[in-house]
Each structure stands twice: as structure tokens, then as C-alpha cells.
């Protein structure tokens, strides 16, 4: 079963990641722009990827934790000193990005809206 959680900002992300059980289910992190009042992200690439990712997750029958991580508004993300960009564990360059925590696998940008790439990423977790 996919356990989905939402984390808002770097501080929430940092606190959560410290609690991850290395012996627990795999953790996948989906970094995206903050949601506007409309419910959509300010990031157009994130808006394109989200329905594809959500559709894939709804069909997945694996025991994983999928964390939606809001990187902040456009101004926060575009700042080169943004903690998500400077954290050596993440090295985020673009959003959306999906990372397997404590792994090397990742999808970046338009890769996140390709079902076949999502499937490969999640299959690597077996």
C-alpha cells in the first residue's frame, strides 16, 4: 500500500527525513512547487506531471512511502541559495523531481510525466 504524506517547506522536510526508518518501506520524495489557491502548482511542469504521478500511484500495490514535498513559491525556488538546491543529499536542479531516498535513482523535469519511467523507478524498489 502506498502511504502518501505532504511536507511543506525545507524545515518540515528536514524534520521528517530524520525520522525515516532505514529498515522501513522505501521512501520516494516528489519535489514540486507550492500550490496556488486554485490547488495547482505555480510550476507548469509540476502541473503536467502531477496527474500522471497520481494515476500511477493509485494503481501501485507496493508498500512505499510517497512524500509530496512543497519547495515553496516561485521566488523561494528560483533563489540559488534555496535549501533544497544547496542540500548535498538532494542536489535539486529542477522541479518536479522524484528521488528514491538513500538511493541514486531519480526522475527530473519532464521525465516525471512519463509513465514508463515512473514504472522503472518504482520497479527498482523491489
- 46 among known catalytic residues: yes
| Chain segment 29-71, per-residue pLDDT in tens | 999 999 999 989 999 999 999 999 999 999 888 889 999 999 9
Domains along the chain with CATH numbers = 2-123 (3.40.30.10)
Task: State pTM to two decimals.
Answer: 0.92
Please report the pLDDT score of residue 112 as a whole number: 95
| Helix axes 115-123 and 44-59, enclosed angle (nearest 10) | 50
Catalytic residue among 43, 47, 82, 112: 43
| Chain segment 100-111, per-residue pLDDT in tens | 998 888 999 999
Question: Average pLDDT of the chain?
Answer: 92
How many Cβ atoms are within 10 Å of 17's Cβ, its own excluded? 18
Catalytic residue among 46, 47, 82, 112: 46
- 43 among known catalytic residues: yes
Residue 64: DSSP 8-state: E
Please report the pLDDT score of residue 121 as a whole number: 87
Amino acid at each position: 500500500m502506498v502511504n502518501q504524506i505532504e511536507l511543506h517547506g525545507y524545515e518540515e522536510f528536514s524534520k521528517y527525513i530524520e525520522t525515516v526508518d532505514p529498515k522501513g518501506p522505501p521512501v520516494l520524495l516528489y519535489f514540486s512547487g507550492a500550490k496556488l489557491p486554485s490547488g495547482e502548482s505555480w510550476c507548469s511542469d509540476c502541473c503536467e506531471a502531477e496527474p500522471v504521478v497520481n494515476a500511477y500511484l493509485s494503481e501501485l500495490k507496493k508498500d512505499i512511502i510517497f512524500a509530496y514535498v512543497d519547495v515553496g513559491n516561485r521566488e523561494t525556488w528560483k533563489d540559488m541559495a534555496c535549501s533544497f538546491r544547496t542540500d548535498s543529499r538532494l542536489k535539486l536542479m529542477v522541479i518536479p523531481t522524484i528521488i528514491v531516498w538513500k538511493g541514486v535513482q531519480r526522475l527530473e523535469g519532464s521525465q516525471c510525466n512519463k509513465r514508463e519511467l515512473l514504472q522503472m523507478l518504482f520497479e527498482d524498489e523491489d
